[in-house]
Structure 1
Amino acid sequence: MSAHTKKYIIRDYTQRLEGLDDALVISIRGVNAIDNNAMRNALAEKQIKVTVVRNNLARHAFKESLLGNASPLLKGPSAFAYGGQSVVDVARELIKWAEKLEHLELKGAVLDGQIFEGKAGVEKLSKMPTREEALSQAVTLILSPGGKLVSQLKGPGSTLASILKSIEEKLEKGETIAKSA
């Protein structure tokens, strides 16, 4: 391959994956074309893209970005899977596909510069909360003490109200109320 062609490919990788800090590295070697297309179409519906890369050229293209940390994962045929709501969603989807397609290899992932190696690393990543899930958990934790305080404040008041209500009902029926000692 000529130097001019290599520069063009590096520029294409850089432009296509510009601003991308998180991705999965997979190998689709051995996956037949029909299954590969079905997987890519299903992933595309969830805004997940798969880009096959030449390892050496990808290393050059991403050496200045957080994806440069993926260099150890770039051995043999490689592709980057990225997009969706978050890299956690991408990991969850590709784990489902890896169960269906025996030749789909999950090489690892990069999340904010941190490497998750192999299938075990991708599974670990898939169990992490997405950004939205983490925000939801944080809001729940923040609001939880306030909710407990309100219920504690309401508790004695509602008890007193129910006692007064029963006294009122007895008086309306003409019953007498016994004094407590």
Structure 2
Amino acid sequence: MKTKKLKEQIAKELKEKFEKAPLVVLTDFQGMTVAESNALRRKLREVGAEYKVVKNTLMRYAYPGTPVEQIKDSFVGPTGIVFAYDDIVAAAKALKEFMDEKDSKLKFKAAVVEGKVADYNMVKQLAELPGREELLGQLAFTLKYPVNAVAWSLENLFTKLVTVLENIKAEKEGAA
């Protein structure tokens, strides 16, 4: 049995996570085995997210004053929480992949994305976006392209200039 002090500490840590995480997803994990739960935790950890299972009574002390308070009615029955901090797209993809597996017993309850309530379709749309690394690659290409275009144009210009000078030299040598 947990002491009152320990429960207060857990509620405080949860509140900090609710405030800090831009993506919080509530799930129903009823029927999942320990192995499945560990696989989910591993998959989320790989993308910088985490999965917690905490009693609903403790969560009721943690959500007041946080964006998660908007979905407080979903804290019913077995509830697992996904917290994503850095790359919310990668976390949404990992969660969606796990939920889409053939025998997955994990069910979506509710979510808060960047302080706004989101349904499962919104989380699926988030999962379909390009990941952080892919977006950074696209940005780098976009920033690099104009520089490459100028360099190619200058190179092309110098090649044409050399060709013109060689033709003039050839004409002068032929006239001499």
2:11 maps to 1:13: yes
| Counterpart Cα distance in 2 of 1:27 and 1:165 | 77
2:10 counterpart SS class: helix
Query: 1:113 Cα deviation (Å)?
Result: 0.5
User: In the alignment, which residue of structure 1 is the partner of 2:87?
Assistant: 86
Q: Where does 1:61-72 land on structure 2 (aligned, <5 Å)?
A: 61-71=62-72
The alignment yields a C-alpha RMSD, in angstroms, of: 3.5
| Counterpart Cα distance in 2 of 1:144 and 1:73 | 48
Q: Is the 8 A contact 2:49 2:85 kept in 1?
A: yes
Query: 1:20 Cα deviation (Å)?
Result: 3.0
Cα separation, partners in 2 of 1:44 and 1:68, compared to 1, 3 Å: same
Q: Where does 1:114-133 land on structure 2 (aligned, <5 Å)?
A: 114-118=116-120, 120-133=121-134
CA deviation string 1:141-174 (max 9, x = no partner): 3343333233233322222334545777xxxxxx
Q: Where does 1:30-109 land on structure 2 (aligned, <5 Å)?
A: 30-55=31-56, 57-71=58-72, 73-83=74-84, 85-100=86-101, 101-109=103-111
- Which residue identity is paired with 2:25? L
| Counterpart Cα distance in 2 of 1:45 and 1:132 | 14
Higher relative contact order (CA 8 A, sep 6+): 2
- Which residue identity is paired with 1:67? V
1:40 counterpart SS class: helix
TM-score by length of 2: 0.70
User: In the alignment, which residue of structure 1 is the partner of 2:142?
Assistant: 141
TM-score by length of 1: 0.68
Long gaps (5+) in structure 2: none
2:154 maps to 1:156: no
| Counterpart Cα distance in 2 of 1:157 and 1:93 | 51
2:32 counterpart SS class: coil
1:31 counterpart SS class: coil
Query: 1:136 Cα deviation (Å)?
Result: 4.2
Long gaps (5+) in structure 1: 169-174
What percent identity do the matched residue pairs reach? 23
Q: Is the 8 A contact 2:23 2:85 kept in 1?
A: no
| Counterpart Cα distance in 1 of 2:154 and 2:79 | 60
Query: 1:86 Cα deviation (Å)?
Result: 2.0
Q: Is the 8 A contact 1:48 1:84 kept in 2?
A: yes
- Which residue identity is paired with 1:78? T
Q: Is the 8 A contact 1:52 1:78 kept in 2?
A: yes
* Structure of higher CA gyration radius: 1
1:50 counterpart SS class: strand
| Counterpart Cα distance in 2 of 1:54 and 1:165 | 83
